[in-house]
Amino acid sequence: MKKKKQPISTGSEWTFELIETYDREIARVARDFGLDTYPNQIEVITSEQMMDAYASIGMPLNYNHWSFGKQFVDTEQNYRRGRMGLAYEIVINSDPCIAYLMEENTMTMQALVIAHACYGHNSFFKGNYLFRTWTDASAIIDYLLFARNYIRQCEERYGVDEVEEILDSCHALMNYGVNRYKRPQPLTAAEEKERQRQREEYIQRHLNQLWQTIPRREESGDIEAQRFPSEPEENILYFIEKNAPLLEPWQREVIRIVRKLAQYFYPQKQTQVMNEGWACFWHYTLLHQLYDEGLVTDGFMMEFLHSHSSVVYQPPFDSPWFSGINPYTLGYNMMQDIRRICEKPTPEDREWFPDIAGSDWKVTLDQAMRNYKDESFILQFLSPRLIRELKLFTLVDNAEHPNLKVSSIHNEMGYKRIREDMAANYNLGNREPNIQVYNVNVRGDRSLTLRHFMHNSQPLGESTEEVLKHLHRLWGFDIHLESVQPDGTVAKRYECPKSNALEVI
Amino acid sequence: MSYIIDRRLNAKKKSTVNRQRFLRRYKEHIKRAVEDAIHDRSIIDMERGSEVSIPSRDISEPVFHHGNGGVRQRVFPGNKEFVEGDEIRRPSGGGGGGGSGQGQASNQGEGEDEFTFNISQEEFLDFMFEDLELPYLVRKKLKDATQFETRRAGFSSHGSPEKLHIVRSLRAAHARRIALAGKGESRKEIRALRKELWVLEAKPISDETRLKMAELREQIQKLEKSAKRLPFIDDFDLRYNNLVKVPVPSSKAVMFCLMDVSGSMTQSVKDMAKRFFILLYLFLQRNYKQIEVVFVRHHTHAKEVDEQEFFYSRETGGTIVSSALNLSADIIDARYSPAEWNIYVAQASDGDNWDGDSANCRQLLSKRILPKTQYYAYVEITSGPQQNLWYEYEQVRTEYPDQFAMQQIREASDIYPVFRKLFEKRTENVA
């Protein structure tokens, strides 16, 4: 048996030397497990700075907007009144990977955060295919700086209100400002600035052609059949940036900035379960390794386990604390479960996961982390055993029936269906209404028609009218929105401005 | 590879701009909340911030999301007794019914109807005093009109050449030379040695004298060298006149608070008067760098008292208003020359006065007080009909329409509107 080492620390107070020592040890253990990370930049901040970070969606710098102020005021209120604690850490997908540690944390918490953020999340950012495809970790800080300066310049030149209006409208459509299937070009601040002027010119020139008012007679026969755009466009902000007739060049640039940020955050929305599960799995594994080596004390482990188990606690559906499936619980349990399937497969596992049962868990987990997003990860790896453990069941809520129906429970018949239902729950395409730019009346009133392709005949929510007003502000002409059933019938129409309002005028 | 950085000392107020943007956007809501607070809250609380509630409907940022309806399949944890095919009554609101799966709706606070936050005292008062201005404020340039006076403040060793003080500089140089070389000792010595040398030179030359002369010359040279090394005047001998700028408050204000404390003034009436004074005082505090407050209370006699006594001690008796006016006029004459002070008088009463005294009051006001004051505000706190003092004062008002204001207050909720009315911007008058 190996000789037990001296523990790194015994008290709860942290010092910079101790953080450094812990970081070194955790880094060593992480390397032994084969975690590949960006370099870390660990920043110790106060709770007030943490609230600042909250308010600017976790980014170290961002442009100014009232909604961030609202967020800040809200966070501050809730924190001051003790209604909520602040997160122990914030980690930013950048290179080097920036992690914020709060000064109020105890030494144990700091070590936990380092393991969780600096090695868990960090390696996920670096490895997962979505982040690799959609984000450029080395350029984001530069880009944010560019965005902030550009928007400040716009505010100076065109007035705060003017810029605020555009940003409001863009934020309303932020979820519809992402490309889902194309790899965007990597952006650097220098390039961005360089090309911005060229882009302005080009777009203006392009537009003039598009909006030429002189009709071409000879084509009039089949022009009705042609739509613009010829294929529906799901990136509404992109479409507006490139095609809205009345926007100033700087307004297009602002739209672009919001679009780029939306794109940057897009992978995080799709990998919540995996990302947190991965980070929780690794802080658990790394700190246990330190414990096995005798580098941390029993007291340390007690405190750590207390935090860990409250983070991965899943209240049952009928508990007053229930607010949906806890992504930490699901992710962490799935990661542990994969390791178990690899190390100690049961006959059931061999039947369900013939290709990973008994394989090297490090390789399997690494593959899972790299090549999946929440939806496909659940579809692939949610095991019957975990479904039993969490006692999952599916409820069907059909508005046409007075009652909710339990469609599947954790039994032999239900496993597959629950797995599919769970994966569908995490499918962004199901969660957000599928709305696309369908047609522009190029030859007529320039009205823009959007189509909402209904999923399970779910209608749009009550804020739709408001969003359409924002869209109208950006587009400048009438907006129509049609909710379309899969069979092609239009279930509901929205328009902005409302036509009866026009009649009054 | 990790870098550990201590950011705790970095700027904290990163969100200030965003917060201000937010306040700016919801100015109307905040103003309404501030006005409500002024109506409802005890005046002693005025020196703190306020809570502002905004309906979350007004503040939410709309996004496309799924509404209720259609078919939803959601997976839940913690099944206890359900088996496949069970039907459950749809819970009313919240819970399993609504929401678009795991959407972000929950942290936008959809369940809450109000978005509530606090504004600081500073912000509170700013909103409270918005659009308000003291009369003739423009003319007197009260705010930020700090003038400076140049005063001599000794001597300094640095300065510009035109401030050089020659006598002091030379005196310092002399002192230095004495300190370093003794009082002219070396020159005296040189002179003595020269004399000696001359004597020797006159003498016939011999080996002895030649040797002596060489020795003397060497000594002289040495002494001259050290004398030369000591400059006549040096940089650090220089002395300059030191002048400092002392801010002179160009607008000092004095506020007279006059209150009837006679038996006819009930506690609630006094309480209202108190609010009126405090509001005025808070306002002055923000507009003048230097203000003094004189508290004069009266029943049949007037007395100058301190703040504590003014508001909180109890007196009874009849009422002679002119006694307070007389005393105020005396104090103005003795201590507050109108050339130096902006004089404001605020008087609160229930309108009771001894019958023969009211005409007297009018005389006093128009003769002794109003010519010297910037503004005179009178509030009558009564729910009954006006009494003779009011009618006498109305005459004063026609005589001095710009300087004299009066108002009747019936309920506590009237105070703030009165305050605003009394001190409304009088831009048209100024122009």
Q: What is the mean pLDDT of residues B40-62?
A: 68
Distance CA(A187)–CA(B116), nearest Å, equals: 40
* Residue B407 near residue B422 (C-beta atoms within 8 A): yes
Q: What is the mean pLDDT of residues A23-37?
A: 93
Q: Which residues of A touch B50 (CB under 8 A)?
A: none
Residues B392-425 pLDDT 10s: 888 888 888 777 878 888 776 666 665 555 555 4
Q: Name the residue ranges covered by the structural domains of chain A.
A: 16-128+271-305, 316-429, 431-504
Phi-psi region of B333 (alpha: psi -120 to 50; beta: other; left: phi over 0): alpha
Name the A residues in 244-303 with CB < 8 Å from any B CB. none
* Residue A42 near residue A22 (C-beta atoms within 8 A): no
Which of A61, A160, A427, A458 is the best substitution to test chain B (most B C-beta atoms within 10 A)?
A458
Instruction: Work out the angle at residue B158's Cα, subtended by the Cα atoms of residues B153 and B159, and round it to the nearest 5 degrees.
Output: 80
> Exposed/middle/buried for B188, CB within 10 Å: 0-12, 13-18, 19+?
exposed
Q: Name the residue ranges covered by the structural domains of chain B.
A: 19-59+115-130, 161-241, 250-430
Residues A350-378 pLDDT 10s: 999 999 998 999 999 999 999 999 999 99
Contacts of B304 (CB under 8 A, 6+ apart): B294, B295, B296, B327, B331
Phi, psi of A61 (to 5 degrees): -150, 155
Q: Which residues of B touch A395 (CB under 8 A)?
A: 73-76, 88, 96
Does residue A231 register a pLDDT over 80?
Answer: yes
ipTM above 0.90, yes or no: no
* Residue A253 near residue A150 (C-beta atoms within 8 A): yes
Distance CA(A249)–CA(A197), nearest Å, equals: 9
Contacts of B155 (CB under 8 A, 6+ apart): B165, B168, B239, B240, B241, B242
Closest CA to B100 of A456, A451, A419, A57: A456
Distance CA(A109)–CA(A103), nearest Å, equals: 10
Helix/strand number for chain A, H first, E second: 22, 9
* Peptide bond just before A354 cis, omega within 30 deg: no
pLDDT score recorded for residue B319:
82
Closest CA to B349 of B411, B413, B263, B260: B260
B94 confidence band (pLDDT: 50, 70, 90): very low
Distance CA(A275)–CA(A373), nearest Å, equals: 9
Distance CA(A407)–CA(A397), nearest Å, equals: 10
Distance CA(A155)–CA(A152), nearest Å, equals: 5
List, in sequence order, the alpha helices (H) in A293-373.
298-311, 327-343, 347-352, 361-371
Contact B64 A175 (CB under 8 A): yes
pLDDT score recorded for residue A362:
93
CATH number of the A431-504 domain: 3.40.1350
Contact A432 B74 (CB under 8 A): no
Residues B279-326 pLDDT 10s: 777 666 666 667 788 888 888 888 888 877 776 666 667 788 888 888
Residues A170-192 pLDDT 10s: 999 999 998 887 655 666 777 78
CA A204, chain centre distance (Å): 33
Residues A420-468 pLDDT 10s: 999 999 988 888 899 999 999 888 888 999 999 998 888 898 889 999 9
Q: Average per-residue pLDDT in chain B? A: 75
Closest CA to A128 of A272, A258, A30: A272
In this complex, the residue of A314, A395, A431 whose CB is nearest that of residue B101 is A431
* Residue B90 near residue A403 (C-beta atoms within 8 A): yes
Q: Which residues of A touch B18 (CB under 8 A)?
A: 55-56, 64-66, 68-69, 72
> Exposed/middle/buried for B204, CB within 10 Å: 0-12, 13-18, 19+?
exposed
Contacts of B368 (CB under 8 A, 6+ apart): B325, B326, B329
Chain B residue closest in CA terms to A67: B22
pLDDT score recorded for residue B99:
36
Name the A residues in 364-393 with CB < 8 Å from any B CB. 390-393
Does residue B134 register a pLDDT over 50?
Answer: no
A89 confidence band (pLDDT: 50, 70, 90): confident
Distance CA(A361)–CA(A365), nearest Å, equals: 6
Does residue B110 register a pLDDT over 70?
Answer: no
Chain B residue closest in CA terms to A403: B89
Does residue B365 register a pLDDT over 80?
Answer: yes
pLDDT score recorded for residue A225:
61
B39 confidence band (pLDDT: 50, 70, 90): low
pLDDT score recorded for residue B428:
38
Distance CA(A43)–CA(A401), nearest Å, equals: 54
Q: What is the mean pLDDT of residues A14-39?
A: 93
> Is the minimum CB–CB distance between B57 and chain A shorter than 8 Å?
no
* Residue A154 near residue A163 (C-beta atoms within 8 A): yes
CATH 3.40.50.410 matches B250-430: yes
Quick one: tokens of B20? 């201000």
> Is the minimum CB–CB distance between A84 and chain B shorter than 8 Å?
no
List, in sequence order, the alpha helices (H) in A344-446.
347-352, 361-371, 374-381, 384-390, 414-425, 428-431
